Amino acid sequence: MTIKVKTKQWGHSIGIIIPKEIINNLKIKPGEDLMIQVEKKENPLKELSGTLKSKKSTEQMIKEVRKELESKWM
């Protein structure tokens, strides 16, 4: 499961907030150990570079890319 979170200052550390919906879905309780994968998103255009191989119109490709970007980073 991949979710977007923001970091927050917590004393001398940085923490993240897990949205309530995820906590409810996974039945997470305080004090439980969790495994997370941390991945910093850099430039979304670099991730897309060279991956679009299609004969679709430019307008259609732009709509599809926008939809994908909105679902990942918005």
pLDDT, tens digit (0-9, with 9 covering 90-100), for 17-74: 899 999 999 999 999 999 988 877 777 676 666 665 667 888 888 888 888 888 776 6
User: Residue 3: CB partners within 8 Å, gap ≥ 6?
Assistant: 18, 19, 22
Residue 1 lies in a domain: no
How many domains does the chain divide into?
Answer: 1
Residue 17 lies in a domain: yes
pLDDT (0 to 100) of residue 52: 58
| Residue range(s) defining the domain that contains residue 52 | 7-73
Which pTM does this prediction carry?
0.47
Residue 30 lies in a domain: yes
More confident residue, 15 or 69: 15
pLDDT (0 to 100) of residue 54: 67
Residue 19 lies in a domain: yes
Residue 12 lies in a domain: yes
Q: Is the pLDDT of residue 11 over 90?
A: yes
